[in-house]
Amino acid sequence: MYFVKTPKIAQSIIKKAVWNIPNNDRKIFLTFDDGPTPSITNRALDILKEYRIKATFFCLGKQVEENPLLFQRIIDEGHAVGNHSYSHLKGWTTKNEQYLEDVRKGEAIIKSNLFRPPYGKIKRSQVNLLNPQTKIILWDVLPGDFSPSNNVEKIISNTLEAVESGSIIVLHDNTICGKKMLDALPIIIDKLKEKKYTFSAITE
């Protein structure tokens, strides 16, 4: 089970994390997890370029190692990058030493102080062990592109129903749900633009 709109009580569990970025300008923040992935990330970048939108890509260190030119394209086109760990370990079921080693390995490759815990699951003890400069970025809108039960229309409606000014939206540029995400992305952007939302990358 997952929440499309993150409840306030869940946000209070990791108080050091950024769950949304409140503002009065109807500015929202598109983010992508798990890449860079050939064909999927490239197409997502094409769509963002077409709409002149900047986003934030939370990358896996192992994916960056395998696709350095694609990672460089993300940066060259003005998007922000963040660390999503090296190999996508789940904090709740991983010993602290192993988890922190994986996070730091990803950070050394990606070179960003932004960090999104894989699955959004991290122990408080792991949070406390992170570098003080690390900025944990979570979300308040999870459209569910990863769910086999969600089709493109459901991903779109989930996004539109949950978004508000300051929302951080999570999509995935991986091979599992990338096709659905790519089909939904331009429609999501069009619909949000109709509602007078603007888009921004997340800064360190």
Q: Which of 25, 33, 76, 145 does the annotation list as catalytic? A: 33
Is 46 catalytic? The answer is no
Under a CB-based contact definition with an 8 Å cutoff, are residues 41 and 35 in contact?
Answer: yes
Which of 79, 84, 88, 172 is catalytic? The answer is: 172
172 given a catalytic annotation: yes
Please answer whether residues 46 and 185 qualify as being in contact, where contact means their C-beta atoms are separated by less than 8 angstroms.
Answer: no
CA atoms within 13 A on the CB side of 204: 15
- The secondary element (H helix, E strand) that includes residue 42 is helix 40-51
199 closest CA partner among 80, 30, 83: 30
Catalytic residues: 33, 172
